[in-house]
Amino acid sequence: MPRPTIALSALVLTAALAACTSSATTTTTTAATPGPAVSTPADAQTTRVVAAATTFLGTLSAAQRQAASFAWTDAAQRARWSNFPTGIFQRSGVRWGDLNATQRAALATLLGTVLSADGLKMVQQQMKADDVLKSQGGGNLQFGSDEYYVAFLGTPSATTAWTLQFGGHHLAINATVAGSNITLAPSLTGGQPIRTTVNGQSVTVVEEVPQEVKDAVALLGSLDAGQKAKAVISTTRTDLVLGPGHDGQTLQPEGLAGSSMTAAQKTLFVTLIRERLNALNDDDLAAKMADIQKNLDKTAFAWYGPTTADGDFYYRVTGPTVLIEYSPQSMGNDPANHIHSMYRDPTNEYGAAWVK
């Protein structure tokens, strides 16, 4: 099976974040410090985000606020996200299970301001999926919605850059806010289980994943034989390539380029990309999608695995400013019920392009 080619991306680790890359793997909590100044003033959307972040931080005790606050230059915390559960991977910040009802409501409001309604729903459903795992017993591993953590790099501000981190098992939201701009690159989504059985009936727990599978299958099914021969790299599924621990790397484009698609196929391609990126609020999503559509001819769609609709396949989107991976996992018997998905922007990881 052809293997993906990984290349270092000089654009990702800009000089603005150079100080972050040399930090040791310390777990010491530090007080939040302002990030670098940004050139674009906050718009109405980011003004609401800053207000929601400030409100949430105001609900925390002094000890909780200290635990949630990290320096903008804390490289270890910036990279401290994973698909693994507690017991294998230890996150830092404030744990959802240690928040009271008022604090949880304020955090949900903050997430709902950074994300779209679908994005907030996706986060909540992934946490519920982890509660299903907890109910099934996890041995030494700690599953459940209590094991999700929130942290801040830098101080929420309309004039300097900062990052909101929220995640746990199968979830890592890294939302960097810089003036009028917000990016979720890099972010890990997916979930386990995607579906479960309640009273003998199959129930979809994480609804975004099945829709994404339908969109991917629709695009593949629209291709003619010649196009499909280019898009299908292998009939064997592969695992996530640029997940946690792979910051600063990119993948060389492979598969079928947008320039080789018909207008109708390009519409399906954009629908598939939007389905993954629509976790971001509408204001910032519009700007991101406009950028991706501008470069759609240079963006490629690649498929690894059977060409069937059961979700037991891997696909990738590789473009100048977007990298998407969808990767089912073998653990749990049904790969389509255990998903790791990545979104990256090789030009703007953690908002690097905005803080040069």
At 242, the amino acid letter reads L
Distance CA 70, CA 160 (A): 15
Is the pLDDT at 24 greater than 50? The verdict is no
| Domain boundaries along the sequence of the chain | 15-190, 195-346
Query: Full-prediction pTM beyond 0.75?
Result: yes
Compute how many other C-beta atoms are within 10 angstroms of the C-beta atom of residue 296: 18
Q: Find out whether 340 and 83 touch, Cβ atoms under 8 Å.
A: yes
Which two structure tokens, joined as six digits, stand for 352?
């690097």
Q: Find out whether 172 and 82 touch, Cβ atoms under 8 Å.
A: yes
The predicted-structure confidence for 209-241, as pLDDT tens digits, reads as follows 999 999 999 999 999 999 999 999 999 999 999
Q: Please state, for a pLDDT cut of 90, what percent of the chain lies above it.
A: 81
Mean pLDDT throughout 190-203?
Answer: 90
Distance CA 329, CA 318 (A): 21
- Model confidence at 193, pLDDT cuts 50, 70, 90, reads very high
Which of 83, 85, 96, 11 minimizes the C-alpha distance to 56? 96
